[in-house]
Amino acid sequence: MDDLLLIVRDDGIGLARERSAGVILASMRQRVAEVGGLVEVRPGPGGGTVVRARLPVSPG
């Protein structure tokens, strides 16, 4: 099975460690999980935030 990997990076100040996921990130995780995928949100290597979503792709 093939996957689609989507990576979004920003160069902002990043997310606060003590802050819980807001509505947008929670909704993104839920929707991706519904199709068997996974979302990861991590600090970027030089600051900012990196969001990675891996989604299964069905043969068309």
The CA distance from 51 to 9, in Å, is 6
CA 29 to chain centre: 7
Domains contained in the chain, number = 1
Q: Indicate the pLDDT class of residue 59, thresholds 50, 70 and 90.
A: low
Q: pLDDT tens digits for 14-55?
A: 776 666 667 888 899 999 999 999 999 988 888 888 999 999
**More confident position, 5 or 43:** 5
Residue 47 belongs to what domain range? Answer: 2-57
Residue 7 in contact with residue 49, Cβ under 8 Å? no
**What CATH number should be reported for the domain holding residue 32?**
3.30.565.10
Residue 44: the pLDDT is 87
Q: Which of 2-6, 11-15, 50-54 has the lowest mean pLDDT?
A: 11-15
